[in-house]
Amino acid sequence: MIVYEILTIILAISYISIFLFYLLGWMSLPVYIPSESKPHTKVSIIIPARNEEQNIFSLLNDLLQQTYPPSLFEIIVVDDFSEDRTFEIVESIVDPRIKFLRLKDFINEDEIVFSYKKKAIETAISNSNGELMITTDADCRVKSNWLATMVNFYEEKRCQMIVATVLMEGERKFFDKFQELDFVGMMGITAATLHLNFPTMCNGANLTFQRKAFEEVNGYEGVSEKSSGDDMLLMHKIAEKWNGGAKFLKSREAVVYSSTQKSIRSFFSQRMRWTSKSQSYSDWKIKANLLLVYLFNLSILASLFLSIFYSQLWLVFFFQLSIKIILDFAFLSQVTGFFNRQKLLWLFLLIEALHIFYIVVVGFAGNFFQTSWKGRKVQ
């Protein structure tokens, strides 16, 4: 038991160090305040869409009402073999800024495609006119100043990639609140690590990058065999080529809102898909960071189980659990406060207990089991 207790202490110290690092990154990241300069950048907003008849109209309506000059942006919707009315709905919206492509028109019959979403984005970029590419998902919503804020940040920083916030919105059910708080935490970590030049995560629902940068890293070459990873794996390629080339935009105006998953099955499929990307990370430091967080959560469950047989481990269990609760609450209180989502913390203790099981199960399943997404297997 002495060896196990020493191991838990090492993992606890690692977790403390990692979360203090996150807290430092978030608190030192300044809030972006846009200037009043006149924009001049041409933008292409890319939306891969598969079976999105329930959502695509709302997103396009949001985009057509942006405060950014209409002459400076286009919207490219790429239909990814939809089996519903997505195609008809997009075609019914008459606006010269909307360009609609069907992915099946750009794929040869004998072509092997591992990631249809990456292929859709590549197709859109090849048929775009913008200097700046912005990707989002068809089931999202944005505020009217979203695009103007993104471009203002780009014209000021001139970075190769901009990562911005995605927030979950759902019903008032506990399952929805669990997803919302979990995602707020993920966004906080995304922001903190990028600010400290240690990029770990990003989300393709709110991702901006230079067309030139995409071409210089040869797009998805080298990572195209993964079904997912159009966001994180591209960010890592850009971060490797340009030190500090990927930056986080901390602004309430630049938020993209996405819906929570309606079922536990779809939730786990989504999270397993995200977790599976970690196998393709080339930076050992990022892998070590993720592994240490996973092992610390796993050790909490292990201590709980072993304490049934070894009573002296109850103290170890409560020590580990206290560390996780204190650090997670300190970090989440800062991030939820910025996004005006402090009410989620009323459920913190209950969510925190479930979060430990969720991290362990999804972390294992995402790396060792296949899942499916929108009718396709995730590799």
**Which residue type sits at 223?**
V
**Cα(212)–Cα(131) distance, integer angstroms:** 7
Q: DSSP strand E in the chain: where?
A: 43-49, 73-79, 98-102, 132-135, 140-142, 161-164, 166-169, 207-210, 246-249, 256-259, 371-373, 376-378
**Cα(14)–Cα(184) distance, integer angstroms:** 22
pLDDT for res 288: 87
Q: Where are the domains of the chain?
A: 2-26+283-378, 34-277
pLDDT for res 211: 96
pLDDT for res 320: 94
From the number of C-beta atoms within 10 Å of its C-beta (0-12, 13-18, 19+), residue 351 rates as: buried
Are the C-beta atoms of residues 272 and 379 closer than 8 Å to each other?
Answer: no
Which class would CATH give 34-277? Answer: alpha beta
CA atoms within 13 A on the CB side of 360: 14
Mean pLDDT by 10 residues, the chain (379 residues): 87 95 96 92 96 93 96 95 89 92 81 80 95 96 97 96 94 90 95 93 94 94 73 91 95 95 84 71 78 93 91 91 96 96 92 91 74 58
